[in-house]
Amino acid sequence: MAAFLRSKCSSVGRTLMGGLGNNLFGAVNSHVEAVTRPSYCDAICQQVRTFIQMRTNLKVVDNSGAKRVMCIQSLRGKKGARLGDTIIGSVKEAQPRGKVKKGDVVYGVVVRAAMKRGRNDGSEIQFDDNAVVLVNNKGELIGTRVFGPVPHELRKKKHLKILALAEHVV
Amino acid sequence: MRLEKCWFCSSTVYPGHGIQFVRNDAKVFRFCRSKCHKNFKMKRNPRKVKWTKAYRCLHGKDMTQDSTFEFERKRNRPERYDRNVTEQTLKAIPLITKIRHERQKKHITNRQKQGKTKERERDAKELEQDIQMLPKKDVMLSTQKTKVVVKVSQQQTEENLMEE
């Protein structure tokens, strides 16, 4: 019952944000979780993009079976994870008969982040959403495909398999 | 190192400047500065914003078609380094830019011609309408001058007739 109520509340909150572009609500929420929102909302409420930290929801862009992962720990340090960093997450939504189930604790590599990240040449790169590719504790991929664009910075982090499987490298 | 063009204002994005935005369909939008990025986030159309290259080209304000623009092109095949070619290119760059600037100047003067003729017509009309507003001395002077001119022309015609 409690879970049901919470889910209802969160959905109401999200519609409020989407409809009214309530900046205050967004600011409060961004501390707790940086939900990946569709791009039409971005223009209305210019949310401050933050690190991927505890309770950040991330989209899973491989065919491991998970759809949404919530960050429960970033393996980066105090501030949180950024583009190319590894996180620990718990699977919140999963497809049936996938390699991972709902409630599993998994490792993941952040392949897209909405917060901008400086590049080696001094420019910056920013993506549409927060996305993750699931790996095991040795850094091997769980799925066999990677969807969408990934940054070439993963080469430096020695995730060559992700780069090889990716559709686009930018 | 490749010098990219800004998606919004079409200016050159030099290394170390600007920001790249990658959409989920892997289209890369490059911006030269935060001004352009902000305008993109506001969903503005660069063809409708007056300070962009797209607007200026669309409305005929800048020279768009010229052979001097042909040199600057996106080439996907890297050129093999050749000392002579490089030297010649470096010599050619200032020459080409000079020619381009001259042509741009010409383009602007051509565009201003129309306005200038219109201005002249407007001035003539104003003079005709409001000539009584001038102090009488000036008017007398101007009329006398015209009379003199007429006399000269008449004399000339008379002379011509005499000759004939």
Contacts of A95 (CB under 8 A, 6+ apart): A65, A66, A67
CATH assignment of the domain containing B6 = 2.30.170.20
Interchain contact A128–B (C-beta under 8 A): yes
Interchain contact A149–B (C-beta under 8 A): yes
Q: Do B89 and B54 share a structural domain?
A: no
Q: Which residues pair with A133 in a beta bridge?
A: A109
ipTM score assigned to the predicted complex: 0.70
Range B99-116 average pLDDT: 94
Place of tokens 């015609």: B157
In a domain, B72, yes or no: no
In a domain, B91, yes or no: yes
Interchain contact B2–A (C-beta under 8 A): no
Say what percent of chain A tops pLDDT 70. 73
Q: Work out how many domains chain B is built from and give that number.
A: 2
In a domain, B90, yes or no: yes
CA A83 – CA A170 distance, rounded (Å): 13
pLDDT surpassing 70 at residue B25: yes
**A58, A80, A75: which is closest to A134 by C-alpha?**
A58
Interface A-B, measured as beta-carbon pairs within 8 A, has a size of 54
Q: Are A51 and A86 in contact (CB under 8 A)?
A: no
Q: Do B86 and B57 share a structural domain?
A: no
Summarize pLDDT for B70-100 with one digit per residue, the tens: 888 888 898 899 999 999 999 999 999 999 9
Classify residue A107 as left (phi > 0), alpha (psi -120 to 50) or beta.
Answer: beta
Q: Predicted confidence band at B163 (pLDDT cuts at 50, 70, 90)?
A: low
Q: Do B11 and B39 share a structural domain?
A: yes
For residue B160, what pLDDT is reported?
59
Which of residues B29, B62, B95 is at a domain's end? B62
In a domain, B71, yes or no: no
Summarize pLDDT for A15-45 with one digit per residue, the tens: 444 444 344 343 333 333 333 344 444 444 4
Q: What is the DSSP string of A105-157?
A: EEEEEEEE-SS-EE-TTS-EEEESS-EEEEE-TTS-BSSS-B-SEE-GGGGTT
Which B positions 36-55 lie with beta carbon below 8 A of chain A?
A: 41-43
Q: What's the mean pLDDT when you consider all of chain B?
A: 87
Summarize pLDDT for A80-108 with one digit per residue, the tens: 999 999 999 999 999 999 999 999 999 99
User: A95: burial class by Cβ within 10 Å (0-12, 13-18, 19+)?
Assistant: middle
Q: Do B88 and B44 share a structural domain?
A: no
Q: Do B89 and B40 share a structural domain?
A: no
CA B132 – CA B116 distance, rounded (Å): 25
Interchain contact A168–B (C-beta under 8 A): yes
Check A112 against B22: CB less than 8 A apart.
Answer: yes
Q: Predicted confidence band at B109 (pLDDT cuts at 50, 70, 90)?
A: very high
In a domain, B51, yes or no: yes
CA A66 – CA B50 distance, rounded (Å): 47
In a domain, B14, yes or no: yes
Say what percent of chain A tops pLDDT 90. 66
Check B23 against A128: CB less than 8 A apart.
Answer: yes
Q: Do B92 and B57 share a structural domain?
A: no
For residue B159, what pLDDT is reported?
57
CA A64 – CA A15 distance, rounded (Å): 29
Q: Are A36 and A58 in contact (CB under 8 A)?
A: yes
In a domain, B151, yes or no: no
User: Going from the N-terminus, what domains does chain A have, and what CATH number goes with each?
Assistant: 1-48 (no CATH), 51-169 (2.40.150.20)
Q: Which domain holds residue B124?
A: 81-142
For residue B51, what pLDDT is reported?
96
Q: Do B85 and B54 share a structural domain?
A: no
Interchain contact A46–B (C-beta under 8 A): yes
Q: Do B85 and B31 share a structural domain?
A: no
In a domain, B124, yes or no: yes
